[in-house]
Amino acid sequence: MTIKRLHHYNAVFLLLFIVAHITNHMIGLVGIENHIAIMDMLRVVYRVQVIEIAVFILFFSQIALGLGLILKRGMPRVRWAWIQAISGVYIAFFFLLQHLSAVIMMRLTYAQLDTNFYWAASVVQANPMGWYFFPYYAFGIMSIFAHLTAAIHFRWPDAVILRPVLLASGVVLGLAIPASLIGSFYEVSLPQEYLDYLRDTYPSWLVTQN
């Protein structure tokens, strides 16, 4: 089995999680209660210990396989290959390694805090730290959509309508989801335990509240 094939099959499995996860955050655009209710339902599946560990292992493997592909393929020659490589590098080094480590660290060292909407909102709302976390989440979503659009470009070159639709969805969701976390669509006030988490975890000058 080639690295490309492994990356492909792994992507099919990971996309089940990614679609559910991003849809869950889309529901957060209209309110926190529904978002949390759906997250509780999804957790019945992905929080089963063996599934959760498998999800982490497969994401880390996907990063390693993706890097292997970049090294093997060498310098990209066409625009979509550049988009695939740059989005892959962003997903790996600037988004997923941090996102996955943050979730793992929470499970291991701060397990009393529910890592729900408010957890993500806490870091985006903190000032000045939110200036880092807003674009971090925005480009995370955009990179996933760009990466998949490139895959569709190479696999189904005739799907010309799908590409701009996917890219535009990535930009809109990339901006809208972090905007929901900072309270652009309805008021989001952080419960005390999330304020305590910020205070316990980060230097005070990074996490003043607006």
Applying CB under 6 A, the residues found at the interface with ligand HEM are: 4, 7-8, 11, 14-15, 18, 21, 25, 39, 43, 46, 52, 55, 59, 62-63, 66-67, 69-70, 73, 84-85, 88-89, 91-92, 96, 99-100, 103, 115-116, 119-120, 137, 140-141, 144, 147, 151, 154-155, 177-178
Shorter beta-carbon distance to ligand HEM: residue 98 or 209? 98
What does each C-alpha distance from 68 to 7, 60, 61, 89, 198 come to in angstroms? 10, 13, 10, 11, 36
Q: Tell me how crowded residue 4 is: count the other CB atoms within 10 A of its CB.
A: 13
Shorter beta-carbon distance to ligand HEM: residue 155 or 205? 155
User: Minimum distance from CB of 51 to ligand HEM (Å)?
Assistant: 8
Tell me how far apart the alpha carbons of residues 164 and 72 are, in angstroms, rounded to a whole number.
Answer: 29
Long-range contacts of 152-161 (CB under 8 A, 24+ apart): 153/80, 154/80, 154/84
SS3 209: strand
Instruction: Give yes or no for a contact between 69 and 3, defined as CB atoms under 8 angstroms apart.
Output: yes
Q: What angle in degrees, to the nearest 10, is found between the helix axes of 162-181 and 130-155?
A: 160
Shorter beta-carbon distance to ligand HEM: residue 36 or 206? 36
User: Minimum distance from CB of 47 to ligand HEM (Å)?
Assistant: 6
User: Minimum distance from CB of 58 to ligand HEM (Å)?
Assistant: 9
Shorter beta-carbon distance to ligand HEM: residue 144 or 205? 144
Shorter beta-carbon distance to ligand HEM: residue 115 or 201? 115
Nearest residue relative to ligand HEM (C-beta): 66
User: Minimum distance from CB of 34 to ligand HEM (Å)?
Assistant: 15
User: Minimum distance from CB of 118 to ligand HEM (Å)?
Assistant: 9
Count Cα atoms within 13 angstroms, Cβ side, for 89: 7
